[in-house]
Amino acid sequence: MRRRAAMIGNSVHRRQLFHWIGCHLESDKDLSKGQRRLAYLECLRDSLDHGLWLTRSSQELDADHAGHSPKQIQPMVCFTDNRLSECAYHAQNYGKLGLGFPKRFVVDNFGGPVNYVSHKTRRNLYFKYFYELQEHLQAAGTDPALIQKLGYLMSFLKPISQRRKRPPPDPLAPAEPTPPPGAPKTRKPKPEGVRNYGPPLTYLVENEWRIVADREVIRRLKLRPHARFEEGVFETYLLAYKPLKDLFSVVFPDRQTLQMALADEDLRRRLIDSPRTNIYVLDEVHEL
């Protein structure tokens, strides 16, 4: 169901950012298809009632020369600037329920696009300089609140790709023959005419935008801590939005989930029956 798709065309991509929900549902293998669809509708209802979750990221870069291993520690909510037709792989990792917001919504809430850096910190100077500045401020006895602002700035950096982990050796595989001492190293010949462009840059293709919560953002947006989590231990904040003003599009995982939403009087009233909401089905979007 791509209602009003013909009228808006590719402006769906140019004017909106999509936030994807439900990665925890896709990873739960104990859920049946019907249970997963019901859970997606509850996620949608929770978002409409309470807002977007700003949670801590688990992304981490390689340790640098000084042994630092930077992590994204600020609560944040993420969006992708990809076209809907390019989001199938993205949805596999982040969830298959998409919420489309205009870019002005993210900008007005202190958000913006991330700056991608090498996932190997030896290959970029961003974190080296950040840590040098941080250590200088700490040694000078600077107010910790000022140092925390560096963490906010660092939260708009993202590794350009996932770290590649070498798979463990197969104990059943035959051992590689050991070359005799002094033997020249040999390399497998490359196919003629084939150039190596390197491994895929898995995060770069996400075209990510973020809204990051620090003390100033929390104060100015009046973000509320999520009631399920203890503030200061595992901080999760809620960013409220108005469905018929801020939420432009909803992407359902499949047609069956959409049909279940159509049968839900509350969701029909709040979203689906409104001419201001674009409704899509993820596995039916091919051109937007």
| pLDDT reported for residue 171 | 64
* 258 class by beta-carbon count within 10 Å (0-12 exposed, 13-18 middle, 19+ buried): buried
Residues 6+ apart with CB under 8 A from 287: 85
Q: What is the pLDDT at residue 158?
A: 85
Interatomic CA distance for residues 56 and 64, integer angstroms:
22
Q: What pLDDT, on a 0 to 100 scale, did the predictor assign at position 239?
A: 96
Q: Angle 255-262/33-50 helices, nearest 10 degrees?
A: 60
- Burial of 43-67, coded b for 16+ CB within 10 Å and e otherwise, reads bbeebbeebbbbbbbeeebbebeee
Predicted pLDDT at 149: 86
pLDDT of residue 84: 85
pLDDT of residue 254: 94
Could you tell me which of 20, 17, 211 has the C-alpha nearest to residue 101?
17
C-beta separation of 103 from 249 below 8 A: no
Three-state DSSP class for 286?
coil
Cα–Cα–Cα angle for 102, 103, 106, rounded to 5 degrees: 105
**Long-range contacts: 122-125, Cβ < 8 Å, 24+?**
122/62, 122/64, 122/65
Residue 70 to residues 31, 48, 59, 96, 171, Cα–Cα distance (Å) = 35, 34, 9, 29, 34
Supply the pTM of this predicted model: 0.80
Give residue 60's pLDDT. 52
The parts of the chain modelled with pLDDT lower than 50 are 1-9, 63, 65-66, 230-233
What tokens does 220 get? 């100015």
CA distance 274 to 259: 16
User: What pLDDT score was predicted for residue 286?
Assistant: 67
Q: Which one-letter amino acid corresponds to residue 153?
A: L
